[in-house]
Amino acid sequence: MQAMQMFSRAQDATANNLANINTPGFKGDKLFHQLLTEQVEGETVTSTVARQQVSLEQGQLEATGNDFDFAIDGPGFFMVDDGGEARLTRNGRFQLDPDGYLRTENGANVMGSGGHVHIPEFFHALNGSNGEARLEVAKDGTIRLNDEVYDQIRVVDVKDPASLERRGNSMFSAANIDLLPRDSNSSVIQGHFEKGNVQPLMEMTDLMRNMQMFEAQQRAMRTTDEMLSQATNQLGRF
């Protein structure tokens, strides 16, 4: 029964990975088995526990030419404010709202060095005399508008991937999220976005293997039940 529960959980994770193949910045879940040893009434008991962890393998970067699309080349995460809750994401398909705030596709505010990234001057420049608004973001996240520095997109480093907790398809929370250090090993790439890191062929293989293993455990349970039933009938004769 424990094995069937683990394969069922693995099947759910694999199905969710496949459902998010086209989600920008999506990070798939991987299950692994951990052996736990404990003392029970003086005896050493070993059990297998299924653990689920986010795979941080980088997805492919795709060029879009959109000035508000950003990808991270490296292990870092964008920091965003989602309704007052700090979140992490690799989905850098951002947009500038009418008030000049840089937001995610779901409306969360992108965080900079001093709070929400706010560039209302972008629209002022568009509506100015020359109508030029040249937005450039450097690899360290520094935002320049017509060569003037305005802010720096906050990219943070997550030391322990096991601490990540999924919040939707492309957002995560983590312990002490506000204290995460800036990631100096990652580069922000403007005009690109990161595809999900799901490998469809591998996920389909996992899907079939999990189903086969689940059915094998079902047959084993059925055989055990039949053997116990026969043993009970035999014992009942004496």
Kindly list the domain boundaries of the chain, sorted by start residue.
61-194
**How much is the pLDDT for 148?**
92
Work out the mean pLDDT of the chain and round it to a whole number: 86
Considering 15-29, 46-60, 78-92, 153-167, the range whose residues carry the highest mean pLDDT is 78-92
Beta bridge partners of 27: none
Q: For residues 25 and 195, what is the distance between their CA atoms, to the nearest angstrom?
A: 5
End-to-end CA distance of the chain: 31
pLDDT for 112 beyond 80: yes
pTM of the model: 0.77
Lowest mean pLDDT among 33-42, 68-77, 89-98: 33-42
Where do runs of H (alpha helix) occur along 20-130?
121-126
Residue 49 zone, left/alpha/beta (φ > 0; ψ -120 to 50; rest): beta
Q: Which two tokens stand for residue 109?
A: 């505010």
DSSP code for 138: -
pLDDT band at residue 2 under the 50/70/90 scheme = confident
Contact of 73 with 187, CB cutoff 8 Å = yes
Place of tokens 């608004």: 133
- Cβ count within 10 A of residue 63: 11
Lowest mean pLDDT among 21-25, 81-85, 105-109, 200-204: 200-204
Lowest mean pLDDT among 9-13, 21-25, 152-156: 9-13
Residue 226 zone, left/alpha/beta (φ > 0; ψ -120 to 50; rest): alpha
Calculate mean pLDDT across residues 37-59: 75
The residue among 110, 119, 114 whose CA lies nearest residue 148 is 119
**How much is the pLDDT for 231?**
77
Q: For residues 145 and 192, what is the distance between their CA atoms, to the nearest angstrom?
A: 19
pLDDT for 49 beyond 70: no
Considering 49-58, 148-157, 200-209, the range whose residues carry the highest mean pLDDT is 148-157
pLDDT band at residue 99 under the 50/70/90 scheme = very high
The residue among 137, 133, 82, 136 whose CA lies nearest residue 111 is 82
Residues 6+ apart with CB under 8 A from 20: 26, 28, 169, 170, 196, 198
Q: For residues 227 and 225, what is the distance between their CA atoms, to the nearest angstrom?
A: 5
**Sign (positive or negative) of CA dihedral 161, 162, 168, 169:** positive
**How much is the pLDDT for 222?**
82
